[in-house]
Structure 1
Amino acid sequence: MRPLPSLACLAALTTLSCAHGSNPAGAPGSTDLAARARALAQRLIIADGHVDVPYRLQETLGPDGEPTEDISQRTPGGDFDYPRAVEGGLDVPFMSIYIPADLQQTPGASKTLADTLIDRVEQIARKSPEKFAMAYSVEEAQRNTKEGKISFALGIENGSALEDSLANVAHFQRRGVRYITLTHSKDNLLSDASFNTGKRTWNGLSPFGREVVAEMNRVGIMVDVAHLSDDAIRQAVEVSQVPVIASHSSCRHFTPGFERNISDELIRAVAAKGGVVMINFGSSFLTAEANASLEKFHKAIQAFMESRSIKSFGAPEVAAFIKSYQAEHPVTLARVEDVADHIEHVVKLVGIEHVGLGSDFDGVGPTLPTGLKDVSQYPNLFRVLLERGHSEADIEKIASGNVFRVWKQAAAHAASK
């Protein structure tokens, strides 16, 4: 998601505190369920709707223009690498092709970056064919899993990558993109953004945005309503002829006033069309307490930088300020149980068929909850769901079954045209 640039940099600068105590996976009497959850994570296909690896690597390019991290091996930083993904049972991460909103001011820049990031994901798969493979359909993802490979599916985060050309929808479909998040942190040519709370350029989707939704339906790209304003989500659901997804959005029920999360009314609308809400793991998405704490933290950092005209989040002065701030104001984090709460909220509202996982790993930096710090820890979430009485069949739907259904429906609709 990367809603604030500071999140990517904070991961290397500070360790956040948790007000909730020890790792819940170590709770008394949890040993048997923990083992069962680990086995379940290995047996089921886990598809995560949003992992920000491509842009993470873009930010770590060396002098030769290549990433300094090799995610086919264990990496010291970040939330995703091959060994940890295998440990956690992750099979199908949707690699987020994240396009910063500021690039839309420069014609051609957004599309160029999108193609560059797609190239990079393909290159990683080519370099380690025994570990990774691209997946352009559910069937390919399932086949890759049987062969012991992790599938890279592709989703563009920010429809500004389309520039002002409807033809670019088909271009990115040919490149393997299987969902597009219509906007990001700012209104663009397609849609209003949830973070632009004081401005509504289009009062929902633009006329071009409506054409883009129809074209995405035509070519088989899922419509992603994460990051959209409420009116834009409502209109996207109405315009789309197939179910939509919210690839990494949690429930506003737990964070009143945080429009980036999705309201109960809109969860019902997405589900009524057959769609899926995929829960974001970032602490600010999960509890009002964490949301307020992290918002205060971000504002304090921004105010400090502005007061000293500092432009780089990586500046030593910023690191020193963060360390000092943290000592006096420990930041509140959520827990793995809070992610389960959001899953259960969707289930209670609209049923088990309409919820999935959209972690935002590598996109929310150090704000991840206790018990879900990286891709090795999906079993901790499964353990909580088992403890609460959810069946393995239900967990399979959450893990991948629901988003696979929508992916297949989008492909089938396109094939029928």
Structure 2
Amino acid sequence: MIIDMHTHAGRPRRTGDVDRSVLATMRGGNVAAAVVSAIGDIAMIRRDPATRRLEKFRDASPGECLDAVQGYLDSFEAAGMRIALEPDEIRADDPCLVLAIEGCDFLEGDLDRLDAMERRGVRSIQLTHYLVNETGDIQTAPPVHGGLTPFGAEAVRRMNAVGIIVDVAHCSEDTVRGVARVATRPFICSHANLKEPGHPHGDHPRFLGPDYARMVVESGGVVGAWIAVLNEEKLPGMIRHMFRLIDALGIDHVGIGTDLPAGAAATEMPDFRRHPELEAALRDHGLAEEEVEKVCSGNWLRVFRAVRG
């Protein structure tokens, strides 16, 4: 079975209902669980026409990011899919969603909102997205805080305490360094690839250097192979990056985080029908069945169990 540890499945935009036809492809794609992320800062970011990269263009109004997150969660809950709250509720024959949030912009200084989100069923939260928020700096903008802030450290501790996975995707390396100092549970980078010196697109700001990746690994965490920025290489490129991650980080620390249907995934992986190609590539590469299972689902499930435990 496959667990996609970062998607916007069926609802890539801020408004509108979830497209149930997208979720309906999970079963045929052997996808047991899709981690679906609510985006708090979606109305504050846009794509630069020259670089084609997303960036902030305005500040959020008070409560705006929280309202956006609540709207996303409402739509996922109304989509007719089972929501898994615990690791043992994820089953190969019964596809489900796992609720997540992309960016802590919704907190606005109130850590009790993390407890409220946990009670609502949210099980994974990124500290940052495309706004430099009160938790720390991001990969795609100049540093403001010099890494993880004291408030960000308290957010990590609170998520560890209540059983929410800490996701450092989009965080700057200095922010991750702070997370590594205070986290008592494994953390993940749900969607990223490794930097590739000499490759025409190998220095993308969202790619990870060796020290960044090492901190995720040393926590016991997982990095999810990512397709959204691979506009030239497309799905074969994601498969190539998946094996680069395996070679560099080890079989126990790699997963699948497509980010569908963002970027290149809009045409390559708009739904879950091509996920079996990732599984097949692992087998064709000669990996043992146990190793295939680790990358496709087992590594992320191990983190989920450790965090909920």
Q: TM-score, normalised by structure 1?
A: 0.66
Shift of 1:269: 1.7
Counterpart of 2:251 in structure 1 is: 352
- Is 2:110 the counterpart of 1:165? yes
Counterpart of 2:288 in structure 1 is: 391
Residue among 158, 161, 179 paired with 1:236: 179
- Pairs within 5 Å for 1:133-172: 133-142=82-91, 145=92, 148-172=93-117
- Is 2:218 the counterpart of 1:272? yes
Quick one: which amino acid aligns to residue 379 of structure 1?
A: P
Larger helix proportion of the pair: 1
Go from structure 1 to structure 2 and tell me whether the alpha carbon gap of 1:156 and 1:123 turns closer, same or farther (over 3 Å shift): same
- Pairs within 5 Å for 1:2-401: 45-53=1-9, 55-56=11-12, 58-59=14-15, 61=16, 67=17, 70-71=19-20, 74=21, 80-82=22-24, 84-100=25-41, 102=44, 105-125=60-80, 132-142=81-91, 145=92, 148-196=93-141, 199-253=142-196, 255-282=201-228, 284=229, 286=230, 290=231, 333-364=232-263, 369=268, 372=269, 374-401=271-298
Tell me, in whole angstroms, the C-alpha distance in 1 between the residues paired with 2:291 and 2:236.
17
Please tell me whether Structure 1 or Structure 2 has the larger radius of gyration of its CA atoms: 1
Alignment gaps of 5+ in structure 2: 45-57
Quick one: which amino acid aligns to residue 5 of structure 2?
A: G
Asked whether the equivalents of residues 54 and 95 of structure 1 are also in contact (C-alpha less than 8 Å), the reply is no
Tell me, in whole angstroms, the C-alpha distance in 2 between the residues paired with 1:166 and 1:250.
30
The share of aligned pairs that are identical, in percent, is 28
Shift of 1:239: 1.6
Tell me, in whole angstroms, the C-alpha distance in 2 between the residues paired with 1:384 and 1:337.
10
Quick one: which amino acid aligns to residue 41 of structure 2?
A: P
Secondary structure of 2:101 counterpart: strand
Asked whether the equivalents of residues 186 and 195 of structure 1 are also in contact (C-alpha less than 8 Å), the reply is no
Secondary structure of 2:133 counterpart: coil
Tell me, in whole angstroms, the C-alpha distance in 1 between the residues paired with 2:186 and 2:23.
31
Quick one: which amino acid aligns to residue 112 of structure 2?
A: A
Counterpart of 1:408 in structure 2 is: 305
1:93-139: CA deviation from partner (whole Å, max 9, x where unpaired): 001111226286211111122122212211113xxxxxx21101111
Quick one: which amino acid aligns to residue 89 of structure 2?
A: E
Counterpart of 1:3 in structure 2 is: none
Quick one: which amino acid aligns to residue 267 of structure 1?
A: A
Quote the RMSD (CA, aligned, Å).
Answer: 2.0
Tell me, in whole angstroms, the C-alpha distance in 2 between the residues paired with 1:200 and 1:334.
30
1:312-336: CA deviation from partner (whole Å, max 9, x where unpaired): xxxxxxxxxxxxxxxxxxxxx2143
Pick 1 or 2: higher relative contact order, CA cutoff 8 A, min separation 6: 1
Pairs aligned (count): 292
Shift of 1:350: 2.4
Secondary structure of 1:124 counterpart: coil
Asked whether the equivalents of residues 156 and 180 of structure 1 are also in contact (C-alpha less than 8 Å), the reply is yes
Go from structure 1 to structure 2 and tell me whether the alpha carbon gap of 1:57 and 1:335 turns closer, same or farther (over 3 Å shift): closer
Shift of 1:193: 1.1
